[in-house]
Structure 1
Amino acid sequence: MTEPTPDLSAPAAGTDEPGHPTDLLDLTSEAFDFAREGDVERLTARLDAGVPLGVTNDRGDTLLMLAAYHGHASCVKALLTRGADPNQINERGQSPLAGAVFKSAQDVIDALLEGGADPAAGSPSAIDTAVMFGKTDLIKLFGAE
Structure 2
Amino acid sequence: MRLTLLKRMLLLLLFAAWQQAQAQNNPASKDYLTIENYYKVKWGFAGEFIDLWKANHYPLLKKAMEKGDIIRVTTEVPMLHAGEDTRWDFRVTIVFKSAVQAFDANLTRPYKKQLYPDTAKLRKDEQHRFELLISHWDVLTDKIDLND
TM over 0.5, yes or no? no
Greater strand proportion: 2
Bigger relative contact order, structure 1 or 2, given CA contacts below 8 A and separation 6+?
Answer: 2
TM, length-normalised to structure 1? 0.18
Larger Rg, first or second structure (1 or 2): 1
